[in-house]
Amino acid sequence: MVSIFKMMRLNKFLAGAGVASRRKCDELIRDGKIVVNGKVVTELGVVINEKKDKVVYEGKAICLPSSFVYIKFNKPKGYTCTANDEKGRKTIYDLIDADERIFSIGRLDYDTEGLLLLTNDGDFANRVAHPRNGIEKEYRVNIEGEVKESELAVLRKGVVKDGERMPSAKVKWLSFENGVTKLSVVIDEGQNRQVRRMFEGIGREIKLLRRVRIGSVKLGGLKRGEYRDLTEDELNLLVRGK
């Protein structure tokens, strides 16, 4: 009997094994963090045999999971999304007990709280995170003082910061109470610190930033630090780009 082995790109294999998103896996390869059959690999586009080749990351052999995990998590403020923080800060993995190696789909910065999705399925993560699929992310934003309609118009059009126009956003005024303006902000690209940089561009400082929705998946009633598996309906909607 002849055995047939599946060949795949190294970055896809790493993402599928739950090491990180495919884009992050490219960075790991370029930085010389991945070893294949005893040799450090730094070139992108390398193809491996998933059954025969030995892939090692951080001293551990990597293999594809036998099952996939899809988690919905309410990240508290004061936690990083890295597995190991160089400053010794608490990470989200201190709060999540998972048998499989999982990673977050995108990140929320240290001072941002709210909805985060985690998985060990690299293809699913790439589908949700890639800008071409236009999956919206909605945030609740609290700003000190009363924000003017003219400022909201700038945010909707796209703030110019450091000589570069940032992506436009859907911004909705919710309320002004006790000296604080509450807004809903919806983006579909997810650049690094995009929402914070938008408000920095109009000279406003964010007091509270919470992500409440990714596509059709809402934060719901999860308390800070709580998590659960995505439902079949939630998962199917994300796969369909909704």
CATH code of the domain containing 199: 3.30.70.1560
- 28: tokens are 């790991």
pLDDT band at 42 (very low <50, low <70, confident <90, very high): very high
Q: Is residue 205 part of a domain?
A: yes
Stretch among 6-20, 70-84, 148-162, 223-237 having the lowest mean pLDDT: 6-20
Q: Is residue 1 part of a domain?
A: no
| 38 and 78 assigned to the same domain | no
188 is catalytic: no
**Alpha-carbon gap, residue 213 to 30, rounded angstroms:** 33
pLDDT reading at 240 higher than 90: no
Q: Is residue 77 part of a domain?
A: yes
Q: What's the number of domains the chain is made of? A: 3
**Alpha-carbon gap, residue 159 to 168, rounded angstroms:** 7
- 222: tokens are 């999860």
Cβ neighbourhood burial of 158 (10 Å; 0-12, 13-18, 19+): middle
Measured over the CA atoms of residue 156, residue 157, residue 163 and residue 164, the dihedral's sign is positive
Query: Which is more confident, 130 or 43?
Result: 43
Contacts of 171 by beta carbon, 8 Å cutoff, 6+ apart: 152, 155, 156, 183, 184, 185, 186
DSSP assignment, residue 100? S
Contacts of 162 by beta carbon, 8 Å cutoff, 6+ apart: none
| 187 and 208 assigned to the same domain | yes
- Find how far residue 177's CA is from the centre of its chain: 31
| 197 and 160 assigned to the same domain | yes
| 17 and 78 assigned to the same domain | no
pLDDT band at 150 (very low <50, low <70, confident <90, very high): very high
Catalytic residue among 109, 123, 229, 233: 109
What's phi and psi for 240, nearest 5 deg? -85, 0
Determine the pLDDT at residue 1.
31
pLDDT band at 6 (very low <50, low <70, confident <90, very high): low
| 22 and 119 assigned to the same domain | no
Task: Average the pLDDT over 181-207 and give the result.
Answer: 91
Mean pLDDT of the chain: 90
Q: What is the CATH number of the domain that holds 44?
A: 3.10.290.10
Q: What is the CATH number of the domain that holds 92?
A: 3.30.70.580
Determine the pLDDT at residue 142.
98
Q: Is residue 150 part of a domain?
A: yes
Per-residue model confidence as pLDDT tens digits over 162-178: 888 888 999 999 999 99
pLDDT band at 82 (very low <50, low <70, confident <90, very high): confident
Determine the pLDDT at residue 56.
95
Q: Is residue 2 part of a domain?
A: no
Determine the pLDDT at residue 223.
96
Q: Are 121 and 70 in contact (CB under 8 A)?
A: yes
Determine the pLDDT at residue 65.
80
pLDDT band at 233 (very low <50, low <70, confident <90, very high): very high
Task: Average the pLDDT over 79-98 and give the result.
Answer: 90
Q: Which residue range forms the structural domain that includes residue 192? A: 136-214
Q: Are 198 and 170 in contact (CB under 8 A)?
A: no
Q: Which amino acid is located at 33 in the chain?
A: K
Per-residue model confidence as pLDDT tens digits over 9-20: 999 899 888 788
| Concatenated DSSP letters of 106-145 | S---TT-EEEEEEES-HHHHHHHH-GGG---EEEEEEEEB
Q: Is residue 229 part of a domain?
A: yes
Task: Average the pLDDT over 215-219 and give the result.
Answer: 95
Task: Average the pLDDT over 218-222 and give the result.
Answer: 92
